[in-house]
Amino acid sequence: MMRFLLLFSRQGKLRLQKWFTPIPEREKKKIVRDMTTMVLARKPRSCNFLHWKDLKIVYKRYASLYFCCGLDAEENELLALEMLHRYVELLDKYFGNVCELDIIFNFEKAYFILDEFLLGGEVQETSKQVVSRAIEASDLLQEAEIDSTDYDLELGWP
Amino acid sequence: MAEVMLPLWFSHEAKELYSNQSIQEAADQDMSPSVRLQEMIRVIRGARTQGEERGVIQRECAAIRAQFRQADNGTRSHNLAKLLYVHMLGYPAHFGQMECVRLIASPRYNEKRVGYLGAMMLLDENQDASLLITNSIKNDLSHSSQYVQSLALCTLACMGSAEMCRDLAPEIDRLLRASNSYIKKKAALCAVHIVRKVPELGELFTPAARALLSEKNHGVLHGAVVLITELCERNIDTLEQFRKVVPELVQIMKGLVMSGYSPEHNVAGISDPFLQVRILRLLRILGRNNDTASDSMNDLLAQVATNTDSSKTAGSAVLYETVLTVMDIKSESGLRVLAVNILGRFLLNNDRNIRYISMTSLQKIVQTDHNAVQRHRGTIVDCLKDQDASVKRRALELSLALVSAVNIRSLMKELLLFLSSCPPELRAHTASGIFNAAERYAPSQRWHIDTILHVLTTAGGDVRDETVPNLIQLITTATDLHCYTVHKLYRALVTDISVQSLVQVACWCIGEYGDLLLTGECEETEPVQVTEDDVLDALETVLQSHMSSPATRGFALTATMKLSTRITHNVDRIRSIVSIYGSCIDVELQQRAVEYNALFKKYDHMRAAVLERMPVIDKSSPGHTNGESAGGTIKEMEPTKLTNELVLPKEPANQVCDLLDLLGGPGEPLHPTPAPSNTVKGPVMSTSGGDLLDLLGGLEVTPAPPCVKVYEKNGVTLKLQTDKQTDTGMNITLTATNSTEADITSLTLQAAVPKSVQLQMKAPSGDVIPAHGLGLVTQTVLLNNPNKVSLKMRVRVCYTSQGTLCQDMVQIDSFPSPTW
């Protein structure tokens, strides 16, 4: 399974963190520090796989963002690269030409999308369209509710 | 301030959406909560210093806390979202935990959505508040909206504690059986989490998991495979049960591999690589250690291996998993070869990741499938030159694992080349790997010595401490290479004295075999033309250099001292060096110098014996660190011999000091070689210890070859020993010892034999018999008796004892039988 997924900028600023196992807050911070240090130190044409403690670390850089995940030792690293890529494609489909700012200003959306793609550290849906449709539907549901709420308020209903 | 906005894809235009202006305008016009969240983010990012940021955040947090305390006003979700942003920046947000609980319980979807997100970010099983959401989750699992159900499932799978899992497991099982595919796939992964937390609950999910395999929906199928994998990994019985579904899994895989283009699941020409990989992994677990299961998946694996296009990562991922499966189950040899060949192809791939993967996999199988991996040795060795450090490291490990008697010469060339240019962090490992390989497969002693010297010259600073005594031991055993070795080391020494290990060995060698340097002859290499002074200069440079470590200087001093018996003209120079170091500030050097000084003064008559050539150091003696030699060659040592062996100290140079200690009082005698003397060493290697043992007595000696005393007079004893006897001849050794107070000088032995017997007397080991039985003189006599007459011999012994010339005749009528 995937143990964690981190997104951080070239300056080491965290943009998203998803943890799939219970870890104390202090240790999370340490892991983030270790990952950012290790990954940012890598030379441009290095291989995308690292070893850290008993985990395999797979990372990929997309423009100004590093996508970095920690996996159990029996996971397939090449497939993990595909997983990261799939997530980026989903973000791109949603935001249209996604860039780092999208993820900064709409971080909760980035999480929602992730939660439709991965569950409990495993891939839950292998079809891009199904994931995108689910997100759209959820968004619609949310908007519909907001509209009706506003409507309630306008009418002065409690 | 404006962040550099680099898009992730192709467009490099700035997104107007997030410019300061557009957010602020939106905020001015319409302070709807979502805009206010973005406004806050903008303000925080606008802070110019850490302090300013802290200030902004403190204000915002205070506002959020105030909002939380108020009644529901439609802004709660956005406030929590703000808090979650702040939390991601690293600021404390625990006061939001209860808000998460409240929001999750809200009937509104948007509030639930953020509430559950908050729970996943702020609550984990170790927080007390997490239990409070159990009820909400339970309710939401049966919600009419699948998106609400989805939120509950996701959160349970992310942070559900064991207790929550136990509580909700039946609900999950229900959802596994009766719901739509959207929920089923999530329920399956939720079940995986539950099984990880509470393994006993695996039994509950087994039937439902089995049923899910007949679903067509990829998401559900994927979830089912993951669940079954988890169940099988945790329970042997379940594993055996699921072996029956191997045919079904094979069918599904076949469908994926052979199906035409499926747009929904296609990735770079591979149909649903995620599902394929998971099925392959499950097959691996089911086929492991089971012939039937392995057989039934054999064809499929071959098909996948052959038909999968590996030009992109997706295909390579599937091939990689296939290879792992093939190597782990009981596959037939043809399939294994196919798998190794795939790895070999990977090695040639342009993609560095794929090369890396290939090498880690090859490393795992290099022991079991050695020959198959050997076929790709060339490519692996090429990877030593890769730019990437991880790839280099893997290539090194693999290369070392692939060394064999057949390829040792060519492979070692590559390894030595690698050593000269490898990253510093790999040098020690490379050096020790090279030593191990050389030890196991050296084609000749000369090659072995050359290799070690090469490593010392290139990376001498990174080798382990045992290298020095190991190399010394090797040098002593290579008796016919002493001249060659001392020449090479001398040349290395005069070139560079910075590498301590090399200098130590060189000093030792020059001390031992320096006389071979002075002869000006050498068969194996170009001889040097040096004088005694040159050699002493070299050693003195080491002694005086600030680069030399104290241990190295010890070596140099001892070597200098040893040369006093091997050179003829410059002994005084050595005397003066030794006496100078008698007041050296380094205590170890001082002690040595003082003792050597004593050797010159009081014990000069013993000096020759004490400083004699070392006998061959036996490899298996305690104190010698063995390499991991394959086979049992070392085990030939018999226990009896071991009791006679002594602990030879790691620094052979110390043996000289030990001898000096011996002379002070009884101690461990120095017993040279335990082997019965069926070999006669060259004239220089005389055994010096025999009589010491006699003096001290009471110690077990290796059975001495039968030795007959043929003459004993004036303290001079002559013994005869038969080394070899055939029908037509024999070889005998005459040994002369001296128990008087003073040396016996000018010893000569002459022999006469019956007419038909041919006599050949070899050169004696010397003509001086040291006093007190501390040394002896040997002389070998070869007798050829073609007519097989009865052998007799007359020996004339001449010598000078205490100034008097003595001469005697000895008749030998019978010879002792040879040792074996």
* pLDDT score, position B727: 78
Chain A residue whose CA is closest to B324: A76
Pairwise CA distance, residues B149 & B171, whole Å: 11
* pLDDT score, position B129: 82
> Is the CB of A131 inside 8 Å of chain B's CB atoms?
no
pLDDT tens digits along B148-196:
999 999 999 999 999 999 999 999 999 999 889 999 999 999 999 999 9
Count of CB contacts below 8 A, A vs B?
189
Q: Do B18 and A105 touch (CB under 8 A)?
A: yes
DSSP string over A48-88: SEEEETTEEEEEEEETTEEEEEEE-TTS-HHHHHHHHHHHH
> Is the CB of A134 inside 8 Å of chain B's CB atoms?
yes
- Determine the Cα angle at B307 with ends B304 and B308, to 5°: 75
Q: Count Cβ atoms below 10 Å from residue B675 Cβ, excluding itself.
A: 11
Token pair recorded at residue B579: 């006496």
> Is the CB of A11 inside 8 Å of chain B's CB atoms?
no
Angle between helices B162-177 and B202-212 (to 10 degrees): 30
The pairing of beta strand A2-9 with beta strand A14-19 = antiparallel
Residue found by looking up tokens 């490898």 in the block: B422
pLDDT > 70? residue B200: yes
> Is the CB of A91 inside 8 Å of chain B's CB atoms?
yes
Range list of H helices, B70-177: 76-88, 97-104, 109-122, 134-141, 146-159, 162-177
Contact B481, B446 (CB under 8 A): yes
Pairwise CA distance, residues B319 & B366, whole Å: 19
* pLDDT score, position B29: 62
Find all residues with CB under 8 Å of A144, minimum gap 6, and list them.
none
pLDDT > 70? residue B629: no
Contacts of A88 in chain B (CB under 8 A): 8
Interface test with chain B among A38, A124, A139, A141, by most B beta carbons within 10 Å? A124
Q: Do A101 and B18 touch (CB under 8 A)?
A: yes
- Compute CA distances A77 → B143, B274, B349, whole Å: 37, 12, 16
Helix or strand (DSSP H, E) at B800: strand B793-801
Contacts of B38 in chain A (CB under 8 A): 105
Q: Smallest Cβ distance to A79: which of B9, B38, B273?
A: B273
The pairing of beta strand A122-123 with beta strand B793-801 = unpaired
* pLDDT score, position B813: 84
- Nearest Cα neighbor of A47 from B360, B204, B726 is B360
Reported as half-sphere exposure (CB side, CA atoms, 13 A), residue B220 has a value of 20
Pairwise CA distance, residues B199 & B251, whole Å: 29
Q: Smallest Cβ distance to A141: which of B3, B147, B389?
A: B147
Contacts of B222 in chain A (CB under 8 A): 123-126
DSSP string over B31-52: --HHHHHHHHHHHHHH-SSHHH
* pLDDT score, position B682: 36
- Determine the Cα angle at B376 with ends B372 and B378, to 5°: 145
> Is the CB of A132 inside 8 Å of chain B's CB atoms?
no
* pLDDT score, position B527: 80
Pairwise CA distance, residues B128 & B492, whole Å: 72
- Nearest Cα neighbor of B47 from B10, B1, B16, B8 is B1
Pairwise CA distance, residues B52 & B761, whole Å: 102
Q: Smallest Cβ distance to A62: which of B8, B81, B219?
A: B8
CA distance A44 to chain B (A): 10
Contacts of A120 in chain B (CB under 8 A): 157-158, 189-190, 192-193
- Determine the Cα angle at B53 with ends B51 and B55, to 5°: 70
Flag whether the pTM goes above 0.90.
Answer: no
* pLDDT score, position B35: 66
The pairing of beta strand B729-738 with beta strand A2-9 = unpaired
Contacts of A137 in chain B (CB under 8 A): 147
Chain A residue whose CA is closest to B197: A21
DSSP string over B258-276: HS---TTTEETTEE-HHHH
Classify the C-alpha dihedral B28-B33-B38-B43 as positive or negative.
Answer: positive
Reported as half-sphere exposure (CB side, CA atoms, 13 A), residue B367 has a value of 2
* pLDDT score, position B68: 86
- Nearest Cα neighbor of B219 from A130, A71, A89 is A130
- Nearest Cα neighbor of B324 from A128, A16, A79, A35 is A79
Q: What average pLDDT does chain B have? A: 83
Q: Smallest Cβ distance to A92: which of B9, B125, B158?
A: B9
Query: Strand pairing partners for B794?
Result: B752, B811
Q: Do B17 and A101 touch (CB under 8 A)?
A: yes
Question: Looking at chain A from residue 106 to 125, which residues have their Cβ under 8 Å from any Cβ of chain B?
Answer: 107-108, 111-112, 115-116, 119-120, 122-125
- Nearest Cα neighbor of B724 from B733, B715, B711 is B733
Chain B residue whose CA is closest to A143: B110
Q: Do A105 and B41 touch (CB under 8 A)?
A: yes
* 3-state DSSP of B424-471: HHHHHHHHHHHHHHHHHHCCCHHHHHHHHHHHHHHHHHHCCCCHHHHH
pLDDT tens digits along B344-394:
999 989 898 999 999 999 998 988 888 889 999 999 999 998 888 888 888
Token pair recorded at residue B735: 């040994």
DSSP string over B643-666: HH-----SSTTHHHHHHHHHHHS-
Interface test with chain A among B158, B212, B386, B394, by most A beta carbons within 10 Å? B158
CA distance B654 to chain A (A): 44
- Compute CA distances B12 → A15, A63, A99, B9, whole Å: 20, 10, 9, 8
Of the listed ranges B12-16, B281-285, B578-582, the least confidently predicted one is: B12-16
Token pair recorded at residue B165: 């899992």
> Is the CB of A65 inside 8 Å of chain B's CB atoms?
yes
The pLDDT of A10-17, averaged and rounded, is 94
Pairwise CA distance, residues B795 & B811, whole Å: 6
Torsion of the alpha carbons at B178, B179, B181 and B186, rounded to the nearest 10: -100
Residue found by looking up tokens 């301590």 in the block: B500
Helix or strand (DSSP H, E) at B772: none
CA distance A134 to chain B (A): 8
pLDDT tens digits along A88-146:
999 999 999 999 999 999 999 999 999 999 999 999 999 999 999 999 999 999 888 77
